[in-house]
Amino acid sequence: MKPRSCHRLLAPIADAATGDAAGPTSAAERAPEYVREIAPYVGGKPIEEVARELDLDPSAIIKLASNENPRGPSPKALDAIAVAARELTRYPDGNGYALKQALASRLRVSADQIVLGNGSNDVLELATQAFLRPGDDAVYAQYGFIVYPLATKARGARGIEVAARDFGHDLDAMRAAITSKTRIVFVANPNNPTGTWLPGRAVESFIASVPRDVVVVLDEAYNEFLDPADQADSTAWVSRYPNLIVSHTFSKAHGLAALRVGYGVMHADIADLLNRVRQPFNVNALAQAAAIAALGDVDYVEESRRLNREGMRALERGLASLGVRFLQSHGNFIMIEARTAMAVYDALLRQGVIVRPLANYRLPTWLRVTIGTPAENERFLAALSTALARSDASRHAH
Ligand SMILES: Cc1ncc(COP(=O)(O)O)c(C=O)c1O
């Protein structure tokens, strides 16, 4: 079985002036070419979908495909959601006052430097909406998070993909790739899907080297999984670099992916621009309440980090004993190599284990696996051992 297929290329646009010279023109055909060329985002396969397609019991399926927190949200966040769910009639606070106050005091910035997003994905999109126009450039790394090219292309801007160094960002080459048309540079630290990470001092000197009229989006979605000693004080950099946007999410370590809430920290002038293009009520009431509670539960995040580290070590040991190559990862996921990656992916699916193929990252011989609970990790390793044997057997049979 293949993941849902890539995009259909729409038919070429008919003659704009006459319409009928090239046949009837549909509304879809008249969409901008740069939109028609976008390959849609392919997410991890949902449990229900796999259950339907393979006739499996959904409760027996584990999903290690979207880098969620296997522990789920903090009980404090769940309590806050239950309280907030009593009032669903009114619109949420469109300015997210209470959440911004909580974030401002935690991060030691002012509330007008924070932009809330429907997931941090929204913040990435808002940055492209505010700064990119057709003809502009955005710079990002090969194997960088796939939303950077998607959001860039959606604005009709040109993406400059800079060759990776050891699967990670080559910051010197990225600096060199900036042109007079470049308006945004994206850096993910740690990066998804590779799990590569750069020390704070390297990232800060990169930001310092970028022209001040180019926005740097520093995406720290997986920051909480780093050892505290490795977590850069990047929000403090915002006061030094007025062109910097640092984005964070409640989807990963805080376990709130379904609610869609994230934020960016930036100079107030930049925040003002992003707020102009933001949907008025982009973060729902349940998400705002849950995020405040999750932010306050520091112990929960710390325990999640500890379990992630233990799970990572367990997977590394298991992979090594299976002879599977993997990349050292600083996130809550790990990239593993398999020559027959799609066959291994299929064989895992049939055993009720969902991981993520990476063909859309042009990494066709790699799979990405999210660190699960100890039981999920064990189950994955056992299923992988079976999958490798099966895909090997089928290779030799041909
Ligand atoms: C590097 C990176 N940035 C941002 C996101 C967006 O996450 P969300 O919109 O849930 O905050 C993801 C999600 O996978 C990610 O991997």
Write the pLDDT tens digit of every residue in 214-236.
999 999 999 999 999 999 999 99
* Ligand 1 probe mutation, 121, 246, 368, most atoms within 8 A of CB: 121
Close Cβ partners of 182 (under 8 Å, ≥ 6 residues apart):
136, 137, 138, 139, 160, 214
Write the pLDDT tens digit of every residue in 37-85.
998 888 889 999 999 999 999 999 999 999 999 999 999 999 999 999 9
pTM: 0.93
pLDDT bin (cut points 50, 70, 90) of residue 23 is low
The whole-angstrom separation of Cα 99 and Cα 111 is 9
Amino acid at 121: N
The predicted structure's pLDDT at residue 2:
40
67 within ligand 1 shell (Cβ under 6 A): yes
For residue 254, give the nearest of 71, 109, 97 by alpha carbon.
71
Residue range 136-159: average pLDDT? Answer: 97
Write the pLDDT tens digit of every residue in 231-258.
999 999 999 999 999 999 999 999 999 9
pLDDT bin (cut points 50, 70, 90) of residue 7 is very low
The predicted structure's pLDDT at residue 154:
97
Quote the ligand 1 centre to 244 CA distance (angstroms): 18
Residue 123 CA: nearest ligand 1 atom is 9
118 within ligand 1 shell (Cβ under 6 A): no
The predicted structure's pLDDT at residue 396:
62
The predicted structure's pLDDT at residue 395:
63
Mean pLDDT of the chain: 93
The predicted structure's pLDDT at residue 297:
98
Tell me: pLDDT of 136 over 70: yes
The predicted structure's pLDDT at residue 21:
55
Q: Which string of DSSP letters, residue by residue, matches 318-371?
A: HHHHHT--B---SSSEEEEE-TTHHHHHHHHHHTTEE-EE-GGGT-TTEEEEE-
Read off the tokens for 104.
């401002």
Nearest-CA residue for atom 5 of ligand 1: 121
The predicted structure's pLDDT at residue 25:
86
pLDDT bin (cut points 50, 70, 90) of residue 392 is confident
Residue range 15-27: average pLDDT? Answer: 63
Write the pLDDT tens digit of every residue in 91-123.
999 999 999 999 999 999 999 999 999 999 999
Write the pLDDT tens digit of every residue in 309-338.
999 999 999 999 999 999 999 999 999 999
Contact of 215 with 264, CB cutoff 8 Å: no
* Helices 374-397 & 298-322 angle (0-180, nearest 10): 30
